[in-house]
C-alpha cells in the first residue's frame, strides 16, 4: 500500500454466513455505483468481495467482517476492501496465490488477486487472516 493513500471507511459489515456474503456484495456495488464507477468495476468488485468473504464463511472457523473504504492518492480515487477474521489462519498464505489448486482450497484467492489492482494477504496459524484489496477508478481491467 502506498504511504500517501488516504482512506475513509464507508461501511463495516459482519461476515458469518452466506447471507452476509450477499449483503457485503450488495453494499459494495451500491457504494461504487454512487461513486460513479463504470459497470465493469462493479462486476470486478462484487466478485472479489464474494470470493474473499465466502472464504471467511467456509474456512475461517469463526465470523469475520468486511470494511469498505474510499481511498485517494491526490486526484486518483478508488475503493479498499479489508476482510478480516480471527480464525484458524494459514501457514505460508502466499502458496495459495502461487498454486492454482492443490486440493486444499479452490483458486478463489488467485482469481481474486487478478481482479483487483492491489492484493495483500496476511495470515498466520491461530492468528486469523486479513485480506486487503484496492481497486482504482480508471485502472485497466485485468
pLDDT for 4: 85
Burial (0-12, 13-18, 19+ Cβ within 10 Å), 74: exposed
pLDDT of 130 over the 90 cut: yes
Kindly report the pTM of this predicted structure. Answer: 0.84
pLDDT of 96 over the 90 cut: no
Instruction: Give pLDDT tens digits for 51-82.
Output: 999 989 988 888 999 999 999 999 899 999 99
Q: Which domains does the chain have, with CATH numbers?
A: 6-136 (3.30.565.10)
Q: What is the mean pLDDT of the chain?
A: 85
Amino acid at each position: 500500500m502506498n504511504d500517501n493513500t488516504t482512506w475513509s471507511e464507508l461501511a463495516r459489515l459482519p461476515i458469518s454466513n452466506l447471507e452476509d456474503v450477499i449483503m457485503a456484495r450488495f453494499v459494495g456495488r451500491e457504494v461504487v455505483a454512487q461513486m460513479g464507477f463504470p459497470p465493469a468495476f462493479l462486476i470486478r468488485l462484487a466478485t472479489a468481495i464474494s470470493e474473499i468473504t465466502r472464504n471467511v464463511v467456509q474456512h475461517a472457523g469463526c465470523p469475520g467482517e468486511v470494511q469498505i473504504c474510499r481511498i485517494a492518492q491526490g486526484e486518483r480515487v478508488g475503493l479498499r476492501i479489508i476482510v478480516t477474521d480471527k480464525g484458524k489462519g494459514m501457514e505460508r498464505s502466499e502458496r495459495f496465490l502461487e498454486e492454482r489448486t492443490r486440493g486444499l482450497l479452490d483458486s478463489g484467492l488467485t482469481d481474486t488477486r487478478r481482479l483487483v489492482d492491489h492484493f495483500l494477504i496476511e495470515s498466520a496459524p491461530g492468528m486469523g487472516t486479513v485480506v486487503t484489496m484496492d481497486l482504482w477508478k480508471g485502472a485497466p481491467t485485468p
